[in-house]
Amino acid sequence: MLRFLFGRLWQSLVLLVIVSVIGFAVLNLAPGGPLSQFALTPGMTQAQLARIAHQMGLDRPLPVQYWEWFTRLLQGDWGRSYRDNQPVLSVIWSHLMATLLLMGTSTLISVLIGTWVGVLGALRRYSIFDYAATVGAMVALSIPTFWFGLIAIYLFSLRLGWLPAGNMYTIGDGSVLDYAVHLIMPSLVLALVNVAVWSRYMRTAVLDVMNQDFVRTARAKGLTRWAVLTRHILRNALVPMITLLGLQLPTILGGALVTETVFTWPGMGRLFLDSLGYSDYPVVMGLLMLSAILVLVGNLMADIAVAVIDPRIRLG
Amino acid sequence: MTDMAFKADPAPTQRWWQRRAVRRFLRHRLALFGLAIIVLLVLACVVGPYLLPFDDLYIDLRARFAPPLTGSHIFGTDPLGRDLAARLFMAGRISLLVGFAAMLISTVFGSLIGILAGYYGGKVGAVLMRFVDAMLSFPSIFLLLALAAFIKPSPIMITVIIAATSWMEITRIVEAEIKSLRERDFIMAARTLGLSNGQIMFRELLPNAMGPIIVAATLTVARAILLEAYVSFLGYGIQPPLPSWGNMLNGAQQYLDSAPWLAIVPGVAITLAVTGFNFVGDGLRDALDARSDIA
Q: Please state the rounded mean pLDDT for residues B130-159.
A: 82
Dihedral sign computed on CA atoms, order B26, B30, B31, B35: positive
Give the pLDDT confidence score for residue A73 in this predicted structure. Answer: 81
Per-residue pLDDT for B294 more than 50? no
Which residue type is seen at B199?
Q
- Contacts for A200 with CB less than 8 Å, ≥ 6 apart: A118, A134, A137
Distances in whole angstroms, Cα of residue A2 to Cα of each of A8, A10, A243: 10, 12, 20
8 Å CB contact between B239 and B153: yes
Q: Which of A60, A82, A62, A76 is nearest to A289 (CA)?
A: A76
Cβ contact A144–B229 (<8 Å): yes
Rounded-to-integer distance, Cα A44 and Cα A55, Å: 16
Q: Which of B37, B78, B98, B31 is nearest to B269 (CA)?
A: B37
Q: Which of B105, B107, B99, B131 is nearest to B272 (CA)?
A: B99
Q: Which of the pair, B176 or A303, is modelled with greater confidence? A: B176
Cβ contact A22–B270 (<8 Å): no
Give the pLDDT confidence score for residue B6 in this predicted structure. Answer: 58
Distances in whole angstroms, Cα of residue A285 to Cα of each of A23, A88, A278: 7, 9, 13
Q: How confident is the model at residue A174 (pLDDT cuts 50, 70, 90)?
A: low
Q: Please state the rounded mean pLDDT for residues A110-126.
A: 89
Rounded-to-integer distance, Cα B137 and Cα A126, Å: 36
Per-residue pLDDT for A28 more than 80? no
CB-closest option in B141, B151, B257 to A258: B141
Is B164 an 8 Å CB contact of chain A?
A: no
Radius of gyration of chain A (CA): 24
- Contacts for B74 with CB less than 8 Å, ≥ 6 apart: B68, B85
Per-residue pLDDT for B113 more than 90? yes
Which chain B positions have a beta carbon within 8 Å of A121's beta carbon?
none
- Contacts for B215 with CB less than 8 Å, ≥ 6 apart: B281, B284, B285, B288, B289
ipTM: 0.81
Give the pLDDT confidence score for residue A177 in this predicted structure. Answer: 76
Give the pLDDT confidence score for residue B295 in this predicted structure. Answer: 36
Is B221 an 8 Å CB contact of chain A?
A: no
pLDDT in tens, B229-258: 988 888 888 887 888 888 888 877 778 777
- Contacts for B198 with CB less than 8 Å, ≥ 6 apart: none
Dihedral sign computed on CA atoms, order A268, A269, A274, A275: positive
- Contacts for A303 with CB less than 8 Å, ≥ 6 apart: A8, A243, A246, A315
Per-residue pLDDT for B4 more than 60? no
Half-sphere exposure of A11 (CA within 13 A, CB side): 18
Per-residue pLDDT for B261 more than 90? no
H or E segment at A7?
helix A2-29
Nearest CA in chain A to B279: A138
CB-closest option in B130, B133, B267 to A151: B267
pLDDT in tens, A66-85: 888 888 888 888 888 877 77
Question: CA of B189, closest CA in chain A: separation in Å?
Answer: 36
Which chain B positions have a beta carbon within 8 Å of A284's beta carbon?
146
CB atoms within 10 A of CB B123: 8
Burial pattern A18-44, b for ≥16 Cβ within 10 A else e, equals bbbebbbebbbebeebbbebeeeeeee
Q: Which of A25, A58, A60 is nearest to A39 (CA)?
A: A58
Q: Please state the rounded mean pLDDT for residues B59-82.
A: 72
Cβ contact B133–A15 (<8 Å): yes
Per-residue pLDDT for B25 more than 90? no
Per-residue pLDDT for A315 more than 60? no
